[in-house]
């Protein structure tokens, strides 16, 4: 999947806790693609979760300006 314009494609991944519970972080995910900043690819980012984004199969399309930090 390739990003178009100033969007970042972010996959929301489930994580399993030590007790076996699956969780999804509401404001973080792994970048699949970003044309604006290619160094973000395959990095985990935090984004503004106070907005609604277009989604498709656990993938969010987030405007670049709403990326807050790179964790990984």
Judge contact between 6 and 63, C-beta under 8 A: yes
Can you give the pTM of this predicted structure?
A: 0.85
pLDDT over threshold 80, residue 28: yes
Flag whether pLDDT at 26 surpasses 80.
Answer: no
Average pLDDT rounded to a whole number, residues 9-36: 85
Q: What is the pLDDT of residues 34-47, one digit of tens each?
A: 999 999 999 999 99
Closest among 26, 1, 24 to 13, alpha carbons compared = 24
């Amino acid at each position: 999947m390739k990003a178009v314009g100033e969007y970042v494609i972010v996959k929301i991944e489930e994580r399993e806790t030590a007790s076996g519970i699956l969780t999804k972080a509401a404001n973080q995910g792994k970048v699949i693609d970003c044309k604006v900043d290619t160094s973000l690819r395959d990095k985990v980012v935090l984004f503004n979760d106070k907005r609604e984004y277009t989604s498709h199969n656990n993938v969010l399309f987030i405007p670049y300006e709403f990326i807050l930090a790179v964790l990984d």
